[in-house]
Structure 1
Amino acid sequence: MSSGTIYGVGLGPGDPDLMSVRADRLLRTARHVAFFRKPGRSGQARKIVEGVISTDAVEFPMEYPVTTEIPLSDPRYNALLSEFYEDCAQHLKALAERGEDVVVLCEGDPFFYGSFMHLYNRLRENIQVEVVPAITGMSGAWTATGDPITWGDDILTVLAATLPEEVLAQQMAQTDALVVMKIGRNIDKVVRALKTAGMYERAWIVEYAQMPNQTVCKLSENCPDFTPYFSIILVHGQGRRP
């Protein structure tokens, strides 16, 4: 029996209409579908494909053992996640070795700050793995603001909010346009860094980009009831224009 293929399928920023034709085709014919989620949650990626995948598909929810319960600096964090990704990879490998194709759902693009990358590195040497790229969440977010993120020769910097505050502020001060991902509990630190870099008044926050409950707000307007975990912060460039 020939081995199956593991497909890391990018779903885009959240609107099913923004998925690629190839992603849609793979999803509609998938016999096995895997996706990440928190325990007790349906998972954002799974919500996006509701009504797209077959009701006969065998679903494999991969539940994170830890997310924000312990700090990133705690040695247990990497140890727990490493074991988790290894177990998930072995499960997918076993399916592929039986000749089954598996579609792994990936929010945004699979190779951009995605959990799928950790499976990819564990599988790529032994199993056929194909990646289906997609529109990134940040692209969906800056489109939601109604203004281009970069002009002319603008330098765009993408930062993870988990970085130390001084690093954030330093990098922010050296760029023209900015995207900050992984906001979560780091929102206060990011706001302080933006103020230090002189970018706070130009910053936008977009929650649930390209989803039905999307919200777009200037950060300085004390946006009410937003959820930092599902948000992206943006500062538009003001570069050269004809």
Structure 2
Amino acid sequence: MPKREATKPGVGGLDALHEEIIACRACPRLVEWREQIARDKRRAYRDWTYWGRAVPGFGDPRARLVIVGLAPAAHGANRTGRYFTGDRSGEFLLAGLHRAGFSNQPRSDHREDGLRLTDTFISAPCRCAPPDNKPLPEELARCTPFFDRELALLPVQVILALGAIAWNASLAWMQRTGVRVPSPRPAFGHGAEARLAGAPVLVGSYHVSQQNTQTGRLTPAMFDTVTARVRAVLDAPREECGGASLFA
């Protein structure tokens, strides 16, 4: 399979794709769950009009860094319509991105709060809030074209995978673009790094979920180490960056 050539980055292509994502109703279980949450709400957010739809990625349309999560949080992105917005996971992530210079502010509460990401885009392999935060394999498969098309519109040089599912989804994307992924695949771990010929550099981090951050499995210092590594890769000469040869 020939190497993928990324389409030119730009807002127009992403906007059109994101309208498709928002309108998607391909997974009955996920549609029912996300809409049930939007109706029942959490008491703290009873005055909110929940988003209750599939969630597109967001960020800088010329981002070289793509952060890959898992899926919208039930009362986070499923409420606000933007990943890592309005929940504790987002507070941790955006504080870290702000410290590293990838975000103009250290938190995000709603879609009109002025958040801007610099050289950074946030995506996910699942676009709807899943029950128990566990999308089924067939649901992830239905979302795959959205994930592929979103990444194709970005000049990505580094992928920061938040958790093992994001890591494996990123490797699977590379394989679909014609990159040779060895068997066994590079193993996920916090601070793990995979450099495959013709692909963006893949860096792993434990997910920024409360389960990890409140137990100390992932600390701000640990996350800062990962973002510092990402920054070093982005600042390196282009020929040293794994994905640079793919893009104009």
Shorter-chain TM range is 0.3 to 0.5
Structure with greater proportional strand content: 1
Tell which structure's C-alpha radius of gyration is larger.
Answer: 1
TM-score (norm: length of structure 1): 0.33
TM-score (norm: length of structure 2): 0.32
